[in-house]
């Protein structure tokens, strides 16, 4: 086998230092662990620390050797909060500065701000846009002034956020109005800007539950033109009175051009019909007449319409004798209406309020009018019996005596007596004529004139129609009956 013998050793002698090796390895491992822990702690405090350097730059952390008590994460959180607050403050200050800039442009008297704006490279055209908060109760922006201020601020922020890419500057100018200043490259507002304004209306309505009316002014290149543009934008709000809330109105330079003024015609005949309907408690007819009255005045401009409304209220007050002590409740109704009249934002709101006022007056008239109506009718009957011989006796004359309108007196008299005023007057005259025919020898012409009928032919026709015999036949028949009675 060709084996070569070397030596012989016992097995236990081969591993005689195993325990010593194990102990040495364990000691070496512990020593390495201790050294690495010491190195890591030393490096943590003395080696490069980007977070520490960042904190030292961001805050006034003292550079001391013993920094074991410093909580870097707490300092970082506190510093971040301070920076956030500073940024918010800077943003608020910037917003206030922008608003002050817009207010100075639109309401101030200094052109410096406009020249500075034009020098920033914006323009060359500028457009003023006005947003008006619509309210449910009629007051500008709502009942609470503080709530109105919050709503204006929210609308201004929404407008700034949406239109900032277009270079817009936004400011709340008071009375529920927000002003927007837009630079443009052309004299007409781009279609996408109009779309953004409509989108802004919808967003405000969804988020704030407030409708907004938008008025767009004309393009401006000078400071004075910019002021005029904002005035035009605000004047667009008058169209809301006729067309309703939550709309977008654009000032047209062609329409703004001066036109020849036309004479405003007040619908006084319609007013008389409304007054008569109130006095006669005709509620259904009353609402229809007011609708027709509104229809007749809506083609005039805002100021003329408001003048007509005030004239109408004054006419009602006078014709219904509200100034008397007995009509204190009616006077309170008129006082409440006049206090609210400036808060009506649309013509439809005004029409509804007028209907409400008229119906309330109609209800009061129904409660107190029955006795007065009877008194008026009795007075008219007595007046006719006393003055029937006057040829000029007419419904207009009697209406003047009772200080009521002709149409109202005619309707009132017919409602109570079931015949017209003229029929009643003719009946009284014919009754007196019959008495004269029976008691005197006067001619038919003389008797006709004595009872106030100057036309003998007309008297003859009335007499025969009423009694089915002529005046001469009546006199002959009465003479025969008298002889028989004797």
For residue 171, the cross-strand partners are 179
d(CA 224, CA 218): 12
Residue 132: which of 243, 251, 247, 287 has the closest Cα? Answer: 247
d(CA 358, CA 289): 11
Q: Angle 304-201-221 (CA atoms, 0-180°, nearest 5)?
A: 70
For residue 133, the cross-strand partners are 212
CATH of the domain spanning 421-486, picked from 3.40.50.2000, 1.10.357.10, 1.20.810.10, 1.10.10.60: 1.10.10.60
Find the distance separating the first CA and the last CA of the chain, reported in whole Å. Answer: 199
What's the order of all strands across the beta sheet hosting 212-220?
169-174, 177-184, 125-133, 212-220, 248-250
Does residue 124 have a cis bond before it (omega within 30 degrees)? yes
Q: What is the pLDDT of residue 254?
A: 46
**Helix, strand, or coil (residue 61):** coil
Q: What is the pLDDT of residue 258?
A: 44
Residue 125: which of 215, 232, 229 has the closest Cα? Answer: 229
CA dihedral 240, 245, 249, 255 (to 10 degrees): -20
What is the residue-averaged pLDDT of the chain? 79
What ranges in 108-121 are assigned the alpha helix state H? 112-119
Cβ-contact 337, 317 below 8 angstroms: no
Q: How many angstroms separate the Cα of 349 from the Cα of each of 241, 308, 371?
A: 9, 15, 34
- 418-443 confidence digits (pLDDT tens): 889 999 999 999 999 999 988 888 89
Regions of the chain short of the pLDDT cut 50: 64-65, 138-142, 254-260, 325
Q: What is the pLDDT of residue 428?
A: 92
Is 0.85 surpassed by the pTM of this model? no
**Helix, strand, or coil (residue 122):** coil
Token match 């017209």: residue? Answer: 420
Q: How many angstroms separate the Cα of 73 from the Cα of each of 64, 79, 346?
A: 18, 10, 60
Q: What is the pLDDT of residue 20?
A: 74
DSSP one-letter string for 443-477: -HHHHHHHTT---HHHHHHHHHHHHSS-HHHHHHH
Own/partner pairs, 166-172, CB within 8 angstroms, 24+ separation: 166/193, 166/196, 167/122, 169/98, 169/101, 169/102, 170/98, 170/99, 170/102, 171/98, 171/99, 171/100, 171/101, 171/102, 171/103, 171/106, 172/99
Centroid of chain to Cα 352: 13
Fold of 91-254: Alpha-Beta Plaits (3.30.70)
Q: What is the pLDDT of residue 293?
A: 92
Q: Where are the domains of the chain?
A: 11-45, 91-254, 268-374, 421-486
Q: How many CB atoms lie within 10 A of CB 272?
A: 17
State how beta strands 212-220 and 248-250 pair: parallel
């Amino acid at each position: 086998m060709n084996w070569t013998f070397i030596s012989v050793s016992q097995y236990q002698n081969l591993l005689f230092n195993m325990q010593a090796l194990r102990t040495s390895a364990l000691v070496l491992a512990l020593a390495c662990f201790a050294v690495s822990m010491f190195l890591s702690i030393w490096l943590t405090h003395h080696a490069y620390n980007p977070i520490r350097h960042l904190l030292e730059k961001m805050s006034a952390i003292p550079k001391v050797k013993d920094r074991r008590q410093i909580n870097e994460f707490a300092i970082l959180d506190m510093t971040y909060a301070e920076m956030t607050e500073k940024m918010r403050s800077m943003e608020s200050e910037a917003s206030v500065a922008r608003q002050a800039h817009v207010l100075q442009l639109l309401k101030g008297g200094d052109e410096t701000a406009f020249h500075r704006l034009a020098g920033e490279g914006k323009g060359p055209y500028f457009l003023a846009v006005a947003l008006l908060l619509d309210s449910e109760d009629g007051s500008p922006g709502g009942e609470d002034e503080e709530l109105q201020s919050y709503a204006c601020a929210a609308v201004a922020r929404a407008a700034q956020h949406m239109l900032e890419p277009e270079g817009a500057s936004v400011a709340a100018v008071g009375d529920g109005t927000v002003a927007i200043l837009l630079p443009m490259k052309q004299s007409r507002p781009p279609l996408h800007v109009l779309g953004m304004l409509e989108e802004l209306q919808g967003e405000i309505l969804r988020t704030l539950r407030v409708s907004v009316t938008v008025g767009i002014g004309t393009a401006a290149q000078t400071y004075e033109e910019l002021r005029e543009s904002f005035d035009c934008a605000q004047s667009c709000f008058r169209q809301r009175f006729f067309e309703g809330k939550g709309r977008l109105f654009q000032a047209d330079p062609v329409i703004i051009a001066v036109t020849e003024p036309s004479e405003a015609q007040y619908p006084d005949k319609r007013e008389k019909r409304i007054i008569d309907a109130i006095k006669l408690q005709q509620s259904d007819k009353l609402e229809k007449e007011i609708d027709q009255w509104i229809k007749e005045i809506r083609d005039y401009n805002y100021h003329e319409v408001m003048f007509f409304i005030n004239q109408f209220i004054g006419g009602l007050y006078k014709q219904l004798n509200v100034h008397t002590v007995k009509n204190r409740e009616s006077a309170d109704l008129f006082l409440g209406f006049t206090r609210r009249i400036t808060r009506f934002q649309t013509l439809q709101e005004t029409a509804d309020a007028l209907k409400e006022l008229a119906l309330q007056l109609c209800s009061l008239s129904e409660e107190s009018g029955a006795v007065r109506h009877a008194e008026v009718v009795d007075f008219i009957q007595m007046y006719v019996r006393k003055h029937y011989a006057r040829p000029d006796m007419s419904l207009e004359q009697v209406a003047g005596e009772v200080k009521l309108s002709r149409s109202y007196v005619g309707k009132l008299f017919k409602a109570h007596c079931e015949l017209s005023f003229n029929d009643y007057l003719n009946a009284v005259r014919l009754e007196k004529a019959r008495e004269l025919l029976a008691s005197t020898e006067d001619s038919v012409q003389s008797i006709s004139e004595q009872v106030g009928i100057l036309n003998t032919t007309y008297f003859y026709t009335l007499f025969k129609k009423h009694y089915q015999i002529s005046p001469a036949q009546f006199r002959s028949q009465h003479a025969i009956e008298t002889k028989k009675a004797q």
